[in-house]
Amino acid sequence: MKANEIHDLDSVQQVSNMKYIDNYYSRTKSVQVASASLGEKLSAEVCVIGGGLAGVSTALGLAERGRSAVLLEANQIGWGASGRNGGFVASGFSQNPLVLIEKLGLAHAKQLYTLTQKAYELIQLRVKDVEAEIKSPIQGTVTASWFNDSDGLQDYIHTMNTEFGESFEYWSKEKINDMYLTSRYHCGYLEPDTSHFQSLNYALHTADMASNAGARIFEQSPVTKVVGINSDSARWKISTPNGEVTADHIVYACSGYIGSLQSKLSRATLPVATYVLLTEPLGARLKTAIRAPYAVSDNRFSSNYYRIVQNDQLLWGGRVSMFHPSQQALKKIMLKDLLSVYPQLQGIRGEVAWGGYMGYARHKMPQLGQLKPGEWYCQGFGGHGMATTTMGGELIASAIANNDDTWQAFAPFGLDYVGKPFGPVIAQLAYWSYQIQDAIKSQLSR
């Protein structure tokens, strides 16, 4: 692998002072946020560590509630998963809602799901004045079924619509095949209440809103150490190479990039790498494959997700791996996946491909809570973090500012050990076994 390729994936040990990697979002970034590197000693009520969507949403929530907040980001705002993802914004979690019903009962599952729907609405309000910079004008995501199980899919849609207030619309084989010209899809459904974001602009805009509301934002400021100042009063000293913050509360929002900063959180976080490809402009060829404007994800464990950007380019995501291929190899791998769905696009080229770490918990649900009084965490959003990070930020901000204990609804999802140092190997093996299960299920359903 050549230097400066996706080298930030080589190590999850607190990489710092890095610039945005080359990807679709950094290439089309148009929102700025005023920030500096911390070079002084500061005092604040709250210090948020990590400037991804979880961190900036928490800082915004605190500032809107009149609390003084300092945010420290090791690299740049949105440098991690938040500024390099698929850009799909939807309610729900990485964990399937039916599993939540089974584990928690219907009422509790509904309570959690509703929190994500509220977060989705709040996000739409927050981007209202800057939609052109952030939001695709097209709403809606199609979930395409790789399997011939129309009855099972319709049962699922029924539960989502009746119990969770969604308005999913079933698509027959004829309909989906008319819109997406591939033999892979058997049926599907449209989720109309979803949107698609320029995720880096969105992270920067949220940070800018936080800054305008009074939060102090610092980039290139990796936190190297956190210590409690004394045992009887909750007060923390947070150190960076050139500065220091003292605060009554800290919030860890470092996700898959936490490295060894906090051992309990690190042990409970599995950084799972996943990848995205941006194709060259496809012009008229795009319509030989895709005739609908909606974003798509399929329903395999090892799913692909994709959407059209810049009128005729495909942003194609998928795969999970502990092996980090070079940019060139990654482009080839991702193109191969794309062509396995749309062989008629043979010969198209990839423009850029990249990867990022999602921070997963074993239970695939967000981890929100306190290690000690004043020592908070807001992490574990996995592959479904665009809306849930806003939810997490709001819950933690409201807990600190107003003693609101709604975050306790997530208490069943704790800091389970993810099996490090073998966690990534286990995740890779699980992914391969899911791929095999997907292939068998697909064959059986033909």
Ligand X SMILES: Cc1cc2nc3c(=O)[nH]c(=O)nc-3n(C[C@H](O)[C@H](O)[C@H](O)COP(=O)(O)OP(=O)(O)OC[C@H]3O[C@@H](n4cnc5c(N)ncnc54)[C@H](O)[C@@H]3O)c2cc1C
Write out the residues near ligand X by the rule CB under 6 A.
14, 49-55, 72-75, 79-82, 84-88, 222-223, 253-258, 261, 274, 276, 317, 356, 358-359, 379, 381-386, 389
Cβ 293 to ligand X shortest distance, Å: 17
Nearer to ligand X, 214 or 241 (CB): 241
Cβ 349 to ligand X shortest distance, Å: 20
Cβ 315 to ligand X shortest distance, Å: 9
Nearer to ligand X, 25 or 186 (CB): 25
Nearer to ligand X, 172 or 224 (CB): 224
Cβ 107 to ligand X shortest distance, Å: 25
Nearer to ligand X, 54 or 397 (CB): 54
By CB atoms closer than 10 A (0-12, 13-18, 19+), residue 167 is exposed
Name residues whose C-beta falls within 8 Å of residue 131's C-beta, 6 or more positions apart in sequence: none
**Can you state the angle between helices 199-212 and 106-126, rounded to 10 degrees?**
80
- Beta carbons of 236 and 227 less than 8 angstroms apart: yes
Cβ 279 to ligand X shortest distance, Å: 16
Nearer to ligand X, 87 or 350 (CB): 87
Nearer to ligand X, 80 or 97 (CB): 80
For residue 194, which of 163, 154, 160 has the smallest C-alpha distance? 160
**Exposure letters 20-49 (e unless 16+ CB within 10 A, then b):** bbbbbbbeebebebebebbeeebebebbbb
CA 141/CA 88 separation, integer angstroms: 8
* Adjacency order of strands within the sheet including 350-360: 169-171, 187-191, 141-145, 295-298, 304-309, 313-321, 270-279, 350-360
Nearer to ligand X, 94 or 177 (CB): 94
- Beta carbons of 42 and 193 less than 8 angstroms apart: no
Backbone dihedral region of 40: left (phi > 0), alpha (psi from -120 to 50 degrees) or beta?
A: beta
Nearer to ligand X, 385 or 423 (CB): 385
Nearer to ligand X, 186 or 359 (CB): 359
Nearer to ligand X, 85 or 313 (CB): 85
Nearer to ligand X, 177 or 222 (CB): 222
Cβ 360 to ligand X shortest distance, Å: 9
C-alpha radius of gyration, the chain, whole number: 21
Cβ 184 to ligand X shortest distance, Å: 20
Question: Three-class SS of residue 253?
Answer: coil
Cβ 273 to ligand X shortest distance, Å: 7
Cβ 18 to ligand X shortest distance, Å: 8
Backbone dihedral region of 374: left (phi > 0), alpha (psi from -120 to 50 degrees) or beta?
A: left
Cβ 446 to ligand X shortest distance, Å: 29
**Alpha helical stretches, state H, 106-196:** 106-126, 131-134, 150-163, 173-179
Cβ 94 to ligand X shortest distance, Å: 8
For residue 273, which of 335, 202, 353 has the smallest C-alpha distance? 353
Q: Tally Cβ neighbours within 10 Å of residue 126.
A: 17
Bridging pattern class, strands 187-191 and 141-145: antiparallel
Q: Which amino acid is at 97?
A: P
Q: How far apart are the first and last CA of the chain?
A: 40
**Alpha helical stretches, state H, 17-172:** 24-27, 53-64, 97-104, 106-126, 131-134, 150-163
